[in-house]
Structure 1
Amino acid sequence: MDYKGYLIDLDGTMFRGEEVIDGAKQFIDLLNDRDIPYLFITNNATYTMKMLVDKLTRLDLKATEHNILTSAMATAKHIKDKNNQVRCYVIGETGLVKAIENEGLIVTDKHCDYVIVGLDRQITYDKLAKACLLIREGAEFIVTNKDAAIPTEQGLIPGNGAIASSIAVSTGVEPLIVGKPESIIMTEAIKKIGIKKQDVLMIGDNYETDIKAGIYAGIDTLMVLTGYSTSEDLQQVEVQPTFVMENLLEWIEKGFDKVTT
């Protein structure tokens, strides 16, 4: 398969915390050497674009802001496309707050049109209570992603889905999900990379987010066994990834632009 562009997950695919995963640097270097477009697409809404570029540069993974799409960015763009000026209550870290503000939306905790929830490692009961009250008053409930857990050097830790589920259970309101595997972020990714879907490969470590995102969008997929999902997990699913590799080194060694099924 001679793919003309790549959508690439970050956490669990390129790195775990501050640890670069085997094959990640070599693969990105090959893409740059061959002038093949790629877009890092992450459900992690804690990063600003600059924070991600700085981290990737620190890890010797080449990237600019043009190579990045986060669930925070996709969330802000989705809201802005529907409304020019809205009031948003935000549970999340700098990446989500900045993305909302960069689209000219108002971050507040009063008379809100939207409650937006992203990963917040300083979450408190008061924040959860405020979100529930605003949703009961009529605010639309949006979640950047539903990742139940995220991979780190220490292992899997609670993700944004764990936070959002408590609000959904309390209010009885199911949120709109923006991040992988949902269509909102994938539509934005295809638009941003500017390549037809049949010429793009989606790479990730999580079957439930990365691989399903590609499957739902009609894009070929490569699952690497470097993070969340395991080969045993694949035995339980009906629709398999297009390719499964131990890591990106194996993909490179098999000739990543000449692989056939």
Structure 2
Amino acid sequence: MKDYKGYLIDIDGTMYKGTEVIEGAIEFISYLNEQNKDYLFVTNNSSKTPDEVAEKLNNMGFQTSSEHVITSAMATAGYISEIAPGSTVYMIGGSGLRKSLTDAGLIIKDDEHVDYVVVGLDVNISYEKLSVACLAVRNGAKFISTNKDVSIPNERGFLPGNGSLTSVVSVSTGITPIFIGKPETIIMEQAIEKINLSKDECVMIGDLYDTDILAGINSGIDTLHVQTGVTTLDEINKKEVLPTYSVENLFEVINE
């Protein structure tokens, strides 16, 4: 495997699964730290702040910081603030999305008279929240979704993801949103900018073909599939476009 300068890394299914650390994950991050390699955790989770993401990882035995995290919430806020600074936003989502939007200078409102509607994962979703979002989109607000994941893994099984919530607004209004998170290129372009390396110096690492690996492929970045999460090696081998590499776990990368 090529010796890369930068590593873009998925979290769930790559670093841990629920409350269980995946074999080789802690050792791999320790290796990157020891080798002074640049890396970013790239996550579609918009509900957590970077500090909360890093705290969870550290509590599980990793050694990292919020500087090594980019979330779909951060990428969403960056996308809007670059196009239309100071815009008004009606948001569905958690504290991570709210903080990212306000930190970017965007104005959050609680009614349907806004410039943008942003939908992120919200475990306290309600009919009223969805209603206001639909009214705002019908009023002409630009419609953005942090990510299109229709389900998310949980100890209980697969639960509704943000793509499922987004679909309610999309189906009701007939408007397809702009998606920000993996496998879209928007979050990847921001990750590359944040890590300050060229695409050919980086590799995208993840377990799920339809988000992590496609994110790299769509962005022109080499990809490393880890066989520790959702997409199996047999499923990978049936894909029309294969990842650059596939490994059983991240020990293989350390021991090369």
* Common topology (TM > 0.5): yes
Please tell me whether residue 99 in structure 1 is matched to residue 100 in structure 2.
yes
SS of 1:130's equivalent in the other structure is helix
Question: Residue 235 of structure 1: CA displacement?
Answer: 4.1
Residue 25 of structure 1 corresponds to 26
SS of 1:104's equivalent in the other structure is coil
TM normalised by structure 1 equals 0.93
Distance in 2 (alpha carbons) for counterparts of 1:228 and 1:44:
17
In structure 1, stretches of 5+ residues that fail to align are 256-261
Identity of matched residues, %: 50
SS of 2:204's equivalent in the other structure is strand
- State which of 204, 207, 224 in structure 2 corresponds to 1:205: 207
Cα deviation 1:54-98 (Å, max 9, x = unaligned): 111111212222211000001001111112211111100111011
Alpha carbon RMSD of aligned pairs, Å? 1.3
Residue 182 of structure 2 corresponds to 180
Amino acid in the other structure paired with 2:93: G
Question: Residue 26 of structure 1: CA displacement?
Answer: 0.5
In structure 2, stretches of 5+ residues that fail to align are none
Q: Is the 8 A contact 1:19 1:153 kept in 2?
A: no
Residue 158 of structure 1 corresponds to 160
- State which of 243, 247, 250 in structure 1 corresponds to 2:249: 247
Question: Residue 189 of structure 1: CA displacement?
Answer: 0.5
SS of 2:218's equivalent in the other structure is helix
Aligned pairs for 1:1-261 (under 5 A) are 1-110=2-111, 111-253=113-255, 255=256
Question: Residue 227 of structure 1: CA displacement?
Answer: 1.9
Q: Is the 8 A contact 1:39 1:68 kept in 2?
A: yes
- Classify 1:232/1:70 alpha carbon distance in 2 versus 1 (closer, same or farther; 3 Å): same
Distance in 1 (alpha carbons) for counterparts of 2:235 and 2:184:
20
Question: Residue 181 of structure 1: CA displacement?
Answer: 1.1
Question: Residue 130 of structure 1: CA displacement?
Answer: 1.2
Please, which moves more after superposition, 128-137 or 10-19? 10-19
SS of 2:96's equivalent in the other structure is helix
Q: Is the 8 A contact 1:151 1:227 kept in 2?
A: no
Please, which moves more after superposition, 74-83 or 232-241? 232-241
SS of 1:222's equivalent in the other structure is strand
> Number of residue pairs matched?
254
Q: Is the 8 A contact 1:198 1:219 kept in 2?
A: yes
Amino acid in the other structure paired with 1:75: T
TM normalised by structure 2 equals 0.95
